Amino acid sequence: MYEGSVCCRAFADAAACFVHREVIFYLHERDFEMLRSISLHPIASKNVHSLVYIGHTLGSRKQSIEEYRQNYETIRMADKLAAEHSNEPLPPRLGNHQLLEFYKNYEHAFEQEQRMLRNDEDISFMKEVISCFTALQELVMSCGFWFRKGLRKSPFEEILARPGSYIMPDGCRQLDSVLNAIFENKIKLKKLTAGELSWQFFQKPPAELKRTMSFYSDLTCLELCIDVGMTEDPGAQLDITTGTEVPQCRQLLTTGLLRDFIKSLTQLRELYVVFNFNSEEHGYAASLEDIMEPKHVWEHLESLTLGNIICERQDLMSMLKRHKSTLSDLCLRDICLRSTSWLVLLPKIRRTMNLYDACICGEVSGRRESPPYDEEFWDLSIPDEFEEPLRDDVNDYLVKDDFINRCPLNRYNSEL
């Protein structure tokens, strides 16, 4: 009997080394209790390498029973489409009594969440558990649809609610709560991923930003999707204005604070900086020099993704040349060349770089460099959202596919 219990404990301890290497959690009381349990385990706590914080909440206003019923119908419609797509049976419809029971569970979850936020329990909790995760190397803070890792059952599914990014500014409270705890415990991360993260996260005193720079010195991977705002007109269906905070973000970034931070990451191997929107009225939130210091070299940079920025091809090409010996993976998404041409840039990238993987996607624009100096525009769409043969040809061209020797973009397939 004794030998059996020792054997079972040995297997449990061995499993604890691997089961919780990555922990995914929501701002939810049950998930917090799960984190606390892991933090108190003498073996599991020492083997947590990655935390993934899904920063969605139920919002600041409780739904009425009528709104809850309407949302259930919306969820049911989505489930019906999913069932038809997967050729699986649709779960039976809930009766009024069952729906009322779910609504009571929703009310309880909403009140718990509001209490936690009102009393800053999420912040104090992070300080409590992070101190036990001494082997932590990676942090992912995911809001919206950015950086979601795999499919995991949400604790909100049991209350028939679909949470969203309701704490404003987007992602700031969630990321700050974890990073402050990590900083206090002198844990050096290797990878930091955050998005959607409001530009306001960087609106901190320069002295504070400078003080924390050494804390990030071991980062080999930085991934940021920076939110520049949107508004919805409640009186008009689907009337959404994006990039509403582009001017404020641009003013902040021209101070060089983001550029100086990224420059300080001497061990960087992967850099991903994407702004989620540009603005029809105000243009782009950042230029290349707001993100990457001109003439600076990251000696280990292997992968680079830039999105929704404006620059000139000469500056972009100069940066790529400086990293020719290390850079093998390049993604340029929704990039605007101010007064220069993609028809000149793409052949130069092909001739100069030795890329293993390339992705030019989204809306790319520029201007011809010879008379009549027409504007250029191609909508190459985003991979995993839409198939686009022209995008595939461009990317094959950049990795020197033998079957595509001429630049696939030309003035005849430009959409302007």
The angle at the Cα of 187, spanning 183 to 193, to the nearest 5 degrees, equals 80
User: Beta strand pairing status for 336-337 and 310-311?
Assistant: parallel
* Among 213, 210, 131, CA closest to 178: 131
Predicted confidence (pLDDT) at residue 7 exceeds the cutoff of 50: no
Largest CA distance in the chain: 89
Condensed to tens digits (0 to 9), the pLDDT of residues 207-262 reads 777 777 778 999 999 999 999 999 976 555 557 899 999 999 999 999 999 999 99
* Among 127, 116, 121, 122, CA closest to 39: 127
Concatenate the DSSP letters of all residues of 50-73 into one string: EEEEE--B--SSPPPHHHHHHHHH
Tokens of 316: 């972009």
- Torsion 82-84-88-90 (CA) sign: positive
How far apart are the C-alpha atoms of 242 and 275, rounded to whole Å?
Answer: 11
Do the beta carbons of residue 347 and residue 315 sit within 8 Å?
A: no
**What average pLDDT does the chain have?**
91
Predicted confidence (pLDDT) at residue 266 exceeds the cutoff of 80: yes
Condensed to tens digits (0 to 9), the pLDDT of residues 118-154 reads 999 999 999 999 999 999 999 999 998 888 765 567 8
Do the beta carbons of residue 46 and residue 18 sit within 8 Å?
A: no
Condensed to tens digits (0 to 9), the pLDDT of residues 298-330 reads 999 999 999 999 999 999 999 999 999 999 999
Mean pLDDT of 81-87: 85
Q: Which residue has the higher pLDDT, 24 or 3?
A: 24
